[in-house]
Structure 1
Amino acid sequence: MGERAGLRHGEENRLVPPSRISPPHTNSIFCRCLVKVMASNGSRYLFWCSNELTQFRIPEFHALSELFQINLKWVDQNEKMPWIILDLESESQARQILSRSLSVKYCIHLWGSGDGVPKMHEAVKAFPSEFKEPYFLESLSFKVYVEAFMKKLTMAQRVERIETFDYLPIKGPIRMKDPDVIFSYFEYYGDDQNRLDEHPRQAFFGRFIGDGQRHLMSKLSIKTRKFIGNTTMDPLLSLFMANLSLVRPNDLVLDPFVGTGSIPVAAAQFGAFILGSDIDFLVIHAKTRPSRWKQKIRAQDESMKANFQQYGLAAKYLDVVVADSSRPIWARKSILNAIVTDPPYGIRETILKVGTEKKDLVIPEEFLETHYPQKVEYGISDVFYDLLNFGAESLCERGRLAFWLPVNREEYSEERLPRHPNLVLKFNVEQVLSCHTSRRLLVMEKVTTKEGGRAVPQEAIPDFRDSIQSAYALDKKDRKERIKKFGHLNLNGKCSDTNKTADL
């Protein structure tokens, strides 16, 4: 296919990942065939995924299928592979998933795949012609995108692979920038850089559908954000939390441990109206010491609201207030669509609530107006059980509560997770911090309202600070044994296969 394939000899590598394009609407024959393709049952779509935070991939697909009411038919579901293949009812369902997914880089309508290149070509040739021919018209410009997983291809190798599809009767002109149609070819050589096969283990070919939402990571990057703090959450994690919480446009979302507002920003990005609270007056009002290197004082215009203005989300910002989460100020009515938060663990931030250790404290009336209440330590078990009780009262039916729970990996047991009779666990996803500690994103859904239902602890949640201290107190021999069992430090979720999706 040479130049016919959309890649000219001598050109620089201009085959960047496919950009967002829409199918042309000018050709009536094309439109009629496209409707036929989109209405057909049994269409397979390959979602090429990022290799970052892979433990969120399957839960995110389940959440988005519920969000858009898509019946998922899994063809290839494997967290260790860089792709997911689904049997969908229409192309529009694939586009709905792409409109929210952070796991997916891009998606193709799969025309053929196989264990090796020859079998892939056989599958492409056998793919029904009525699905292929609408994209071979003379009026449609095209290009071919080539990618290999775990192998870098030269320009000559890319051209060589494109030439193997010369049996496709493509008639349209080549256009490297904004073509009407993009054909995508992928090769998979394995996932171990030291043990790669000489030839592709698997190959895929199809028509490009669209991109996922990974560009939001750059848009919401902490590096360029106006107001951040020591515990500002990574935007990718915040966006995953919003997806697993089924945050929809015009939802009302609360973060009761709002900090610098990274999680509400993600919720607002998906169209929700946000509220927040935090007991730390200085953080809420951007009066803390700057977190950026070499920054001595905060700028006068730094604020949480400034972040929303920066991203064009000011209309979604309702308000944040200084408040004690152990004594919620919010009305205990079922009005919240989601509560999405990251409670403090007592490591880089203190866990405090309003209170005093003095008995029978009486404040003279003349001092009440200017009195600032004292604070005492807020036990980590109380933090989570108060959060569950508040969520069970304040969430609307089918509303979701999402929060991070720090755990000692050696002592972790699902039976010891905090529970509430009105909430069911939907997702339990682990983010490994070290070989002995991790945190789990727990997503719960309100399914019923039982009068007087309370989250009564079976046993106290272990203090995360004690777990860290005891782990680092181990001698060298015990530490080696621990690593042998739980893996090495900072392996981004690969130490053990402990992620679970519940009640799906």
Structure 2
Amino acid sequence: MAQAAPALRRYLLLLAQEHLEFRLPEITSLLSLCGGQFSGEQEVRVNSPFWILNIPSEDMARGLMKRTVCAKSVFELWGHGRSSGELYASLKNYPTDKMLPYLQSDSTYKIHIHTFNKTLTQAQKIKKIDALEFLPFKGKVNLKNPEHIFWILEDYGMNPNDVPEEPIHLYFGRWIADGQRELIESYSVKKRHFIGNTSMDACLSFIMANHARVKPNDVVYDPFVGTGGLLISSAHFGAYVCGTDIDYNTIHGLGKASRKNQKWRGPDENIRANLRQYGLEKYYLDALVADSSSPIWRKGMLFDAIITDPPYGIREAPRRMGSQKETVKSVERSTENHFFVSSSYHLSDIFSDLLKFAAEHLVMEGRLVYWLPIYRPEYTEEIIPRHPCLKLISNCEQMLSSHTSRRLITMEKVKEFKDQDENSYMLDGQYMPYRGHNSFREKYFSGVTKRIAKEEKDNQK
């Protein structure tokens, strides 16, 4: 006889109001990593800081909070409503046997009030706490070091210019755990030893690792590794990390510094030193000078995740190995007595090569997470690069300007790669590279949108 699935319990998730589009994919990915799945009691309001989730156990809720940088806290939800009366009625209907273990006479507790989009006076807070006297609290109040913490959370809507007198929704619950928001500060690029012009923001770096479902003992690879910012977040979660980059100076920490008031990089500025700074050096495998468009890995070499931010020509030029017959872009010294020629590397080719590489070198159910630059007036979902071995999991936008953005694309390997099918899928129109990506840099700097807006305004006169 099949064992019954565990009953789902209601939890309230309090989320940070930052990177709103990235939150749902992060929470969904982490729940699946913990062995669960995303299940909301009601339709999730994507922009709201309050989500009610159904999670099988408190341990899974704690596991979620050990990873997330998008959520602040999680609570065991005891009651909620659209008014104080509805909240109190909901609390009175909550099973007493589930409350009592946390309300015993030999325990200590405190009640905390959190409001979104409104500030309450101390007198208002005390009044709201006193209104909960019908709950069977038997323990002693301890404001400094309580055993149990209970929260009243009030939602006053999203519009700071039209704040209602009363909250539009109220929640009460037992605090379970906080998320990992402190990682954003402790891993801040401002404090990092080795940085470059395009070093990834710490918050986004951890979001990418969570979208990729990185876990301990994974092997994570970045084919455009740069200064290794994306490797740090994966190593923090216990993964072994490696990467490649075509720029010899960056890999070896040579050349001009990116910091203000520093002309040249120091002798110990490199990716390994960054990992050492955070006590993560044991997870560093290696960083190689290599061209992502040319295969260097043996057949059968598999990675658990590929996390990368390809160059798209704004601060760093996309390049690959060239030959004297090609139009020369630059000549760089790569060893003591050897020079290589680099040529331009079209964005459409970068993404086509990246997906092909992921299809061949990811483990089954392994994930590819990368940034795709977008010219917003031309954007449709059809321009997202695709591969028959990879399934699109999520697609989140980060605005760069009024007419450009970049999208964090997460894909999962769902089909084994076969050599004989290496390029045959290109015959299918849906997998053809979108050549419009190649002119992203020109569109970014052109000011086309401003000219269009001016012409439209002139036509309306």
**TM-score under structure 2 normalisation?**
0.90
Q: Whole-Å Cα distance in 2 between the matches of residues 43 and 477 of structure 1?
A: 51
Q: 2:208 aligns with which of 215, 218, 241?
A: 241
Q: Whole-Å Cα distance in 2 between the matches of residues 421 and 89 of structure 1?
A: 34
Q: Whole-Å Cα distance in 1 between the matches of residues 224 and 404 of structure 2?
A: 22
Quick check: 2:320–2:345 contact (8 Å CA) kept in 1?
Answer: yes
Partner of 2:237: 270
Q: Whole-Å Cα distance in 1 between the matches of residues 385 and 441 of structure 2?
A: 18
Residue 211 (structure 1) aligned with residue 178 (structure 2): yes
**What is the one-letter code of the residue matched to 1:460?**
R
Residue 475 (structure 1) aligned with residue 441 (structure 2): no
Partner of 2:189: 222
1:42-441 to 2 correspondence within 5 Å?
42-76=8-42, 77-358=44-325, 370-441=337-408
Residue 460 (structure 1) aligned with residue 412 (structure 2): no
Partner of 2:331: none
Quick check: 2:359–2:417 contact (8 Å CA) kept in 1?
Answer: no
Q: Whole-Å Cα distance in 1 between the matches of residues 41 and 455 of structure 2?
A: 41
Q: CA deviation at 1:215?
A: 1.4
Q: Secondary structure at the match of 1:246?
A: coil
**What is the one-letter code of the residue matched to 2:97?**
E
**What is the one-letter code of the residue matched to 1:468?**
Y
RMSD over equivalenced CA pairs, Å: 2.1
Q: Secondary structure at the match of 1:374?
A: strand
Structure 1 pair 479/74, CA: closer, same or farther in 2 (3 Å)? farther
Quick check: 1:255–1:276 contact (8 Å CA) kept in 2?
Answer: yes
Q: Whole-Å Cα distance in 2 between the matches of residues 178 and 292 of structure 1?
A: 43
Q: Whole-Å Cα distance in 1 between the matches of residues 148 and 376 of structure 2?
A: 48
Q: CA deviation at 1:293?
A: 2.4
Deviations 1:403-446 (A, max 9, x none): 11101111011112211121111111111112211111111111
Q: Whole-Å Cα distance in 1 between the matches of residues 161 and 264 of structure 2?
A: 48
Q: Secondary structure at the match of 1:75?
A: coil
**What is the one-letter code of the residue matched to 1:57?**
R
**TM-score under structure 1 normalisation?**
0.82
**What is the one-letter code of the residue matched to 2:410?**
V
The alignment of Structure 1 onto Structure 2 pairs a total of residues equal to: 436
Structure 1 pair 413/117, CA: closer, same or farther in 2 (3 Å)? same
Structure 1 pair 118/288, CA: closer, same or farther in 2 (3 Å)? farther
Q: CA deviation at 1:212?
A: 1.0
Q: 2:7 aligns with which of 14, 25, 41?
A: 41
**What is the one-letter code of the residue matched to 1:54?**
L
Q: Secondary structure at the match of 2:350?
A: helix
Quick check: 1:420–1:453 contact (8 Å CA) kept in 2?
Answer: no
Structure 1 pair 200/227, CA: closer, same or farther in 2 (3 Å)? same
Structure 1 pair 143/337, CA: closer, same or farther in 2 (3 Å)? same
Q: Secondary structure at the match of 2:435?
A: coil
Q: Whole-Å Cα distance in 1 between the matches of residues 366 and 301 of structure 2?
A: 9
Structure 1 pair 300/154, CA: closer, same or farther in 2 (3 Å)? farther
Q: CA deviation at 1:461?
A: 4.0
Q: CA deviation at 1:118?
A: 1.8
Q: Secondary structure at the match of 2:442?
A: helix
Q: Whole-Å Cα distance in 1 between the matches of residues 161 and 127 of structure 2?
A: 25
Partner of 1:3: none
Q: Secondary structure at the match of 2:177?
A: strand
Structure 1 pair 73/220, CA: closer, same or farther in 2 (3 Å)? same
Q: Secondary structure at the match of 2:46?
A: coil
Q: Whole-Å Cα distance in 2 between the matches of residues 219 and 180 of structure 1?
A: 28
Q: CA deviation at 1:375?
A: 0.8
Mean Cα deviation higher: 233-242 or 169-178: 169-178
Q: Whole-Å Cα distance in 2 between the matches of residues 282 and 114 of structure 1?
A: 59
Structure 1 pair 87/330, CA: closer, same or farther in 2 (3 Å)? same
**What is the one-letter code of the residue matched to 2:7?**
N
**What is the one-letter code of the residue matched to 1:140?**
S
Structure 1 pair 424/138, CA: closer, same or farther in 2 (3 Å)? same
Q: CA deviation at 1:174?
A: 2.2
Q: CA deviation at 1:266?
A: 0.7
